[in-house]
Amino acid sequence: MQETFLKYLEYEKRYSKHTILSYKLDLSQLSSYIKNTSPEFDLENANHLLIRGWIVSLVESEIQPKSINRKIASLRSYYKFLLRQGTIQKDPTSKIKILKTRRKLPQFVNEKDMNLLLDNCEFNNDFEGARDRLVLEMLYSTGIRLTELINLKGSNLNFHNRTIKVLGKRNKERVIPFSVSLEKVIKQYQVERNKLTNGYENQNLIVTGSGESCYPMLIYRIVKKYLNLFTTIDKRSPHVLRHTFATHLLNKGAELNAVKDLLGHSSLAATQVYTHNSLDKLKSVFDQAHPKA
């Protein structure tokens, strides 16, 4: 039944390969626990006591609550699927509660440092310099995810409307506008890219120095290299630039719903975490401007 469930996630829910692998590992871990502790049971007839025992074992192994909650979410999806299929009559996860977690505020680069990076950094006058600048500008100016950037095709760019069509999580498409300044960076990169590929056509916009499709670690290295020069924040990853995009928009007065749509979030809950950062800015403005502050 596990394979049927995984196919359901792939073909009907259209989850990514990475997400499906996570579900598979979670189910496999619980299955192994049941086999070792109560061999008379299996994954399909497990009760809530067995599942709770597995969760306790994860806590005792000092696995982070956030990771455990993700595993619980995987199990809930699986047993709800079995319930709909008529394989089980009762959901054993209905009595399982998620663990309390401390929600960390997303780190972001402050506006001054971001401007210094993009306006004052000296990029090499070659393909790699043009590509590195585009990677930074694209992540910060559009807020797209790492995988979305890697999979972005040249055909997804519309220079007439200055928009980018992005294929996000669960194959959901969204359209993001881009600025005149980003358009110039894209076109400068395309000139260098055309020299490099010498007729070899790769559909992906961002490519390696040999014209091959880009890969996650290369983007990580590019982002870390340049953020190291201009910021002291602990985390220096592509996702930090996505956080920076959202935070700066909200600091400038953008509506939360608009930022949600630009980021491709399915609900406001995921976007609201950025309001905590913009709230600090509002408090600062209040302290400076209000006569009774």
**Are 139 and 223 spatial neighbours (Cβ–Cβ below 8 Å)?**
yes
pTM: 0.67
Confidence tier at 196 by pLDDT (50, 70, 90): confident
Q: Which two tokens stand for residue 93?
A: 């996860």
CATH fold for domain 111-289 = hpI Integrase; Chain A (1.10.443)
Between residues 235 and 134, the one the model is more confident about: 134
What pLDDT, in 10s, does the model give residues 48-100? 999 999 999 999 998 988 899 999 999 999 999 999 999 999 999 998 998 88
> Which residue among 24, 165, 235, 265 is the active-site one?
265
CB atoms within 10 A of CB 39: 8
| pLDDT value of position 252 | 86
Mean pLDDT score, 272-288? 65
Is 162 assigned a catalytic role? no
Which of 242, 243, 248, 260 is an active site residue?
Answer: 242
Active site residue 18: no
Fill in the amino acid letter for 292.
K
Structure confidence at residue 58 (pLDDT): 93
Task: DSSP for 24-88, please give it.
Answer: HHHHHHHHHHHHHH-TT--STT--HHHHHHHHHHHHHTT--HHHHHHHHHHHHHHHHHHHHHTS-
Q: Which of 145, 193, 243, 248 is catalytic?
A: 145
Catalytic residue selected from 52, 165, 169, 174: 169
Q: What pLDDT is recorded for position 202?
A: 79
CATH architecture of 2-85: Orthogonal Bundle (1.10)
Is 242 designated active site? yes
Element (H, E) at 177: strand 173-177
Give catalytic status of residue 8 as yes or no. Answer: no
Q: What is residue 155's predicted lDDT score, i.e. its pLDDT? A: 92
- State the pLDDT confidence band at 277, using cuts at 50, 70 and 90: low
CA dihedral 235, 225, 145, 175 (to 10 degrees): 130
- Is 193 part of the annotated catalytic residue set? no
Catalytic site residue 274? Answer: yes
pLDDT band for 141, please (50, 70, 90 cuts): very high
The residue from 70, 76, 224, 239 that is catalytic is: 239
Domain spans in the chain, listed from the N-terminal domain onward: 2-85, 111-289
